[in-house]
Structure 1
């Protein structure tokens, strides 16, 4: 919690009319009292107590957390760059995504399947109507981005297709 958040918390408590609020977090304890005890003057006081621990330990731990976050960001960015060369097929409607025409039938397409324009890729159920979703491009399925029987939103990516 930074000083601005503490100040806004103090203002909130003062406006609420509460006489005392205690907030305890993992590494922070704050007590906010409005109105001085045994005095008629109005005022707000707060006490911030941090647990005793080695400040050197905190400095060493912080860079490690940042390194983990940056490696995740780098991996996500690399995946986005890799996926940029593919065409994304998106859901044209809201509904439930199905990879099969019925539970006892095989899936329409698998990763690695070659598709052409007009081929049915999946079915989306909306208001008890089953809508065939047809491909607008030719290519090869690289990724299926949605699990079977999952709800999908309008314009949600469903498949990645390599047009080459």
Structure 2
């Protein structure tokens, strides 16, 4: 990637409103992140020894635990997807789900995997409570900020 391509990418990101973009290839790794005042900050490209080209989805601007859910009861909190990808409830099809309805979760507990660009990203709970509902079917596509679970924090 040459300097002009990097500048064009930064300009595109600045206009798009994205908070952060990470790109990795066999040759380099670049991270573009907007600070809270709207300026664009870049980190220098670094040589990378990757097996295959990889690009990461935009990182969330907020935490994965969001405000109370509107479609259920206001006492529940949603765990949302931090990226676009495919939702998996377990690491392998034959393995049990990370969490089920009625299970207690603590901050840092793995609740699912979202696969994006052949990378399997383990999603951790950012709240403690009890899983009330799983909102997504296993192996279904999910969008950024899509609710995945409802948690009763009580």
Q: How many residues align?
A: 86
TM-score by length of 2: 0.54
What is residue 144 of structure 2 aligned with on the other side? 154
SS across alignment from 1:146: coil
1:130 equivalenced with 2:120 (yes/no):
yes
TM-score by length of 1: 0.51
> C-alpha separation between the residues in 1 aligned to 2:71 and 2:144?
24
Q: Please give the per-residue CA displacement for 1:15-41, whole angstroms capped at 9, x wherever unaligned.
A: xxxxxxxxxxxxxxxxxxxxxxxxxxx
Gap regions ≥5 residues in structure 1: 1-78
Gap regions ≥5 residues in structure 2: 1-68
Structure that is richer in strand per residue: 2
Judged with a 3 Å threshold, the aligned counterparts in structure 2 of structure 1 residues 155 and 81 are, in CA distance, closer, same or farther, namely: closer
Structure that is richer in helix per residue: 1
> C-alpha separation between the residues in 2 aligned to 1:98 and 1:82?
23
Judged with a 3 Å threshold, the aligned counterparts in structure 2 of structure 1 residues 86 and 149 are, in CA distance, closer, same or farther, namely: same
> C-alpha separation between the residues in 2 aligned to 1:85 and 1:109?
20
> C-alpha separation between the residues in 2 aligned to 1:138 and 1:92?
18
Judged with a 3 Å threshold, the aligned counterparts in structure 2 of structure 1 residues 81 and 103 are, in CA distance, closer, same or farther, namely: closer
1:97 equivalenced with 2:87 (yes/no):
yes
TM alignment of 1:16-27, pairs within 5 A: none
Using the TM superposition, give the Cα deviation of residue 83 of structure 1 relative to its aligned residue in structure 2, in angstroms: 2.3
Higher-Rg structure is: 1
What is residue 17 of structure 1 aligned with on the other side? none
SS across alignment from 1:83: coil
1:144 equivalenced with 2:131 (yes/no):
no
> C-alpha separation between the residues in 2 aligned to 1:81 and 1:124?
23
What is residue 112 of structure 1 aligned with on the other side? 102
Using the TM superposition, give the Cα deviation of residue 80 of structure 1 relative to its aligned residue in structure 2, in angstroms: 4.0
CA RMSD of aligned residues (A): 1.5
